[in-house]
Structure 1
């Protein structure tokens, strides 16, 4: 059974911050992955060497997420992926999901979940995973972070690429063996707020348009949104209306958290 982590936001008045549509995390709360990015393209070997598959375990079951290698011993993912987990098995260098170059099993004691993560408003949806040191190759390598600066691009109008093994469609039930990707155009937060409201879409969030039913979906959580080989987003949430609804898809805005990443991992551009 595919279960979305639906976030319900109670508000007393109809203000600008009210959620027109409830956001949902594309976290797959099943032991296996079903499907892929909706209506995306199939990746080829070594196309996304920074992509990691993350199979989380907990006393309540398991779920699948994505992540990005940012250093030889650090992976970044979403806080809603690490939340409640006791361990994770990380799969590296996989295009075919079941055939990674190698795996590592990591305890939750090596998770650094953002200390102010708040699921209710999808605030600070970012976590770091400290891993045993890996060796880089053509199939397994890090992705660059944006350089720390006094101001950052909004990326509006630019086309970035999301990758992962999430659902192929809202009705998908079959397993997709191969990594998928899709090119998506960044939209302004003002436009994104028209769908999710200003309580959800803050400066911590970056959104993309999802025309032609092309989007991130369940199982893609925590995975990368990359622009010019630089990580700009971490898959966070979408619309409760479904991945093919045409509503924006939202990501944790990496530039907002560069200082936090450096403070907790020592990693920077």
Structure 2
């Protein structure tokens, strides 16, 4: 088994390269970078997907993904929102040129255990943020919320479970980002396997979920996909958000290494505190 301990962010940043002891941005990966070996999404296929364009205090723009969980709320990665002053959100989009909705927000809530001050230089656990939309969005065939992983399954072993990731991540390291939304199958990994793959890295904690290539070794998330959804089609025929896209190996996105995501089921108490809404749920008997 290959074993590399360096981890990189999946956020797409404009002209920034920052190194740390055990983490670096995806631009520093030494291999081609994209949602690799996936497919172009069809209209309405992934209606919970958000596109984020974030602006920091210097005017630098970066891009991430996110998920709609309520008419007024979304989830993304904390390293996407940390130290940003505003962001433009697109919803109901396959092509970024033709979103159903486009609006601006400046209000977000990073998890209190996430350290914004080192967000630009170090991959961290608890890499999850809540977005406040500043408006109430109207749902349609192209714009829908996704169910959040329940707290009962927060420690589930997803080893071998088929999952789906999506985003507008770049099609090549430092290359052009795709106009159209891409998606890919991934296969869930146990946390034990993921820790071993990353040499016991402290980044892999209980609230981490990892996933590897499903049937082609290059399948993965990558640059620009941060904050986007990792979902499972459950037995009741509904999709559930089981992960928020966070990191990959510094060796590159298409190498045979797990990608890392944050399990939202761990954070229901915090989400309730921030939003005043209980997103937790109990599976029906037989699920």
**TM-score (norm: length of structure 1):** 0.86
Which residue in the other structure is 1:239 paired with? Answer: 249
Shift in Å at residue 215 of structure 1?
0.5
Would the aligned equivalents of 2:34 and 2:170 in 1 still touch at CA under 8 Å? Answer: yes
Cα distance change on mapping 1:150 and 1:36 into 2, 3 Å: closer
Which residue in the other structure is 1:53 paired with? Answer: 51
1:121-180: CA deviation from partner (whole Å, max 9, x where unpaired): 51110000111110100000100112333864222221110000002244x623411100
Distance in 2 (CA, whole Å) between partners of 1:104 and 1:267 is: 25
Would the aligned equivalents of 1:233 and 1:253 in 2 still touch at CA under 8 Å? Answer: yes
Which residue in the other structure is 2:66 paired with? Answer: 67
Distance in 2 (CA, whole Å) between partners of 1:51 and 1:121 is: 23
Shift in Å at residue 254 of structure 1?
1.5
Q: Does 1:23 align with 2:7?
A: yes
Match of 2:221 among 216, 219, 236: 216
Q: Does 1:77 align with 2:112?
A: no
Distance in 2 (CA, whole Å) between partners of 1:242 and 1:128 is: 28
Distance in 2 (CA, whole Å) between partners of 1:176 and 1:47 is: 17
Q: Does 1:186 align with 2:180?
A: no
Which residue in the other structure is 1:96 paired with? Answer: 95
Which residue in the other structure is 2:127 paired with? Answer: 125
* Superposed CA RMSD: 2.0
Match of 1:40 among 38, 41, 44: 38
Q: Is the partner of 1:86 in helix, strand or coil? A: strand
Q: Is the partner of 2:268 in helix, strand or coil? A: helix
Match of 1:112 among 109, 116, 119: 109
Would the aligned equivalents of 2:153 and 2:265 in 1 still touch at CA under 8 Å? Answer: no
**TM-score (norm: length of structure 2):** 0.81
Q: Is the partner of 1:208 in helix, strand or coil? A: strand
Which residue in the other structure is 1:6 paired with? Answer: none
1:6-38: CA deviation from partner (whole Å, max 9, x where unpaired): xxxxxxxxxxxxx9421111100129xx98512
Unaligned runs of 5+ residues in structure 1 are 1-18
Q: Is the partner of 2:50 in helix, strand or coil? A: strand
Cα distance change on mapping 1:36 and 1:53 into 2, 3 Å: farther
Would the aligned equivalents of 1:36 and 1:164 in 2 still touch at CA under 8 Å? Answer: no
